[in-house]
């Protein structure tokens, strides 16, 4: 949370923005919304905030933000409206009643939604004359405004162009094109990789626990190896883009067979689900005669949904 008060932000009727510091309103002061608002306030933007439950704006108010009593009041004081709520339903519950107030404003939705939900919000915005940009936050609140923070955007190129300087206060901004669903798609795709990796790590931790090894001790050995393995992602990606899996030097599917890991998991008395999921993807390709091809070939098991029932 910023410590710097914004002295110009004394009340909503007299606060004026400037080309360098347009007026912003942030709807939603959860863990992420509060940090997004605080960062803009610290950067000198006249900042109005609103949260469904009263009492979450105290620190921001003390730092110079204006607390609006309703979403309508909040957006009427803004050139740019930032939305960071729980989910797609809460976005509509908040914005639908104030669509007419939002007409003509730039709306940046940073709530995590599915790609189709982002496209739906883009269509809804267009119907109401609202300029919509969607964002996928690839950071946790502590990272916002610091090195390593990144937000993916897609939707209106005009909003991204107009508001690039403002967005830069939160971290690196990457614009992925006019399809409003693209930022969400890439956000959730990256998170898929993270969650499957975390599940694999926890699976390993459960295996070694059977020998009395603590998860912290295990993490000390697993983390460097897993970090080194991410260096192989580029090679996998090239193979997938070429759709040519017979690459010499790559680990074959026959070699990658996980039956020993599945068996060791059962012997350790833990669920085999996490590793069996990968084994199923491998088995489908080996059964189809591709055992000598590279591990990246399991991409075909993932994209060919028709063969799922044959495993």
The binding site for ligand FVH (CB under 6 A) comprises 28-33, 51-53, 56, 84-87, 90, 93-94, 111-112, 137, 140-141
Overall residue count recorded for the chain in this entry: 311
Q: Which is nearer to ligand FVH, 70 or 244 (CB)?
A: 70
Q: Which is nearer to ligand FVH, 12 or 139 (CB)?
A: 139
Cβ(74)–Cβ(101) below 8 Å: no
Q: Which is nearer to ligand FVH, 97 or 269 (CB)?
A: 97
For the bound state, the minimum distance from the C-beta of residue 187 to ligand FVH, rounded and expressed in Å, comes to: 8
Task: Kindly give, in sequence order, each residue whose CB lies less than 8 Å from that of residue 149, ignoring residues fewer than 6 positions away.
Answer: 138, 139, 143, 170, 171, 172
Task: Kindly give, in sequence order, each residue whose CB lies less than 8 Å from that of residue 214, ignoring residues fewer than 6 positions away.
Answer: none
- Distance separating alpha carbons of residues 41 and 166, to the nearest angstrom: 11
Q: What SS3 state is found at 152? A: strand
Q: What SS3 state is found at 22? A: coil
Task: Tell me which DSSP letter residue 111 carries.
Answer: S
Q: Which is nearer to ligand FVH, 85 or 281 (CB)?
A: 85
For the bound state, the minimum distance from the C-beta of residue 114 to ligand FVH, rounded and expressed in Å, comes to: 11
Q: Which is nearer to ligand FVH, 84 or 278 (CB)?
A: 84
For the bound state, the minimum distance from the C-beta of residue 216 to ligand FVH, rounded and expressed in Å, comes to: 23
H helices present in 168-297, as ranges: 182-209, 215-229, 233-242, 253-256, 259-267, 273-287
Q: What SS3 state is found at 165? A: helix
For the bound state, the minimum distance from the C-beta of residue 30 to ligand FVH, rounded and expressed in Å, comes to: 2
Q: Which is nearer to ligand FVH, 121 or 278 (CB)?
A: 121
- Distance separating alpha carbons of residues 275 and 133, to the nearest angstrom: 39
- Distance separating alpha carbons of residues 283 and 253, to the nearest angstrom: 8
Q: Which is nearer to ligand FVH, 95 or 207 (CB)?
A: 95
Cβ(131)–Cβ(158) below 8 Å: yes
For the bound state, the minimum distance from the C-beta of residue 72 to ligand FVH, rounded and expressed in Å, comes to: 13
Q: Which residues of 34-64 are buried (b: 16+ CB within 10 A; e: fewer)?
A: bbbbbbbbbbbbbbbbbbeeeebbeebeebb
For the bound state, the minimum distance from the C-beta of residue 84 to ligand FVH, rounded and expressed in Å, comes to: 5
Residue nearest to ligand FVH (CB): 30
Strand partners of residue 66: 48
Q: Which is nearer to ligand FVH, 106 or 134 (CB)?
A: 134
- Distance separating alpha carbons of residues 243 and 297, to the nearest angstrom: 8
For the bound state, the minimum distance from the C-beta of residue 35 to ligand FVH, rounded and expressed in Å, comes to: 8
For the bound state, the minimum distance from the C-beta of residue 98 to ligand FVH, rounded and expressed in Å, comes to: 12
């Amino acid at each position: 949370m910023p410590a710097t008060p914004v002295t110009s932000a004394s009340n909503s009727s007299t606060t004026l923005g400037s080309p360098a510091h347009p007026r912003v309103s942030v709807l939603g002061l959860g863990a992420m919304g509060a940090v997004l608002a605080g960062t803009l306030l610290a950067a000198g933007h006249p900042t109005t905030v609103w949260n469904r439950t009263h009492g979450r704006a105290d620190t921001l108010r003390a730092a110079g933000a204006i607390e609006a009593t309703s979403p309508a009041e909040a957006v009427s004081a803004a050139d740019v409206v930032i939305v960071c709520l729980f989910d797609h339903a809460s976005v509509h519950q908040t914005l639908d009643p104030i669509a007419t107030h939002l007409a003509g404003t730039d709306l940046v939705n940073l709530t995590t939604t599915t790609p189709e939900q982002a496209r739906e919000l883009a269509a809804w915005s267009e119907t109401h004359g609202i300029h919509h940009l969607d964002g996928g936050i690839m950071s946790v609140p502590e990272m916002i405004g610091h090195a390593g923070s990144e937000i993916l955007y897609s939707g209106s190129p005009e909003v991204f162009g107009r508001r690039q300087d403002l967005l830069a206060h939160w971290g690196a901004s990457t614009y992925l094109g006019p399809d409003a669903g693209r930022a969400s798609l890439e956000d959730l795709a990256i998170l898929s990789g993270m969650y499957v990796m975390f599940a694999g790590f926890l699976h390993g931790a459960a295996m070694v626990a059977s020998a009395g090894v603590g998860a912290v001790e295990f993490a000390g050995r697993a983390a460097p190896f897993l970090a080194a393995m991410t260096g192989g992602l580029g090679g996998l990606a090239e193979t997938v883009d070429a759709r040519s899996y017979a690459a010499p030097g790559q680990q074959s599917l026959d070699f990658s067979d996980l039956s020993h890991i599945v068996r060791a998991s059962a012997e350790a008395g833990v669920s085999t689900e996490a590793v069996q999921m990968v084994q199923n993807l491998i088995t489908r390709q080996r059964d189809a005669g591709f055992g000598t091809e590279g591990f990246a070939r399991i991409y075909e098991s993932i994209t060919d949904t028709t063969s799922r029932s044959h495993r």
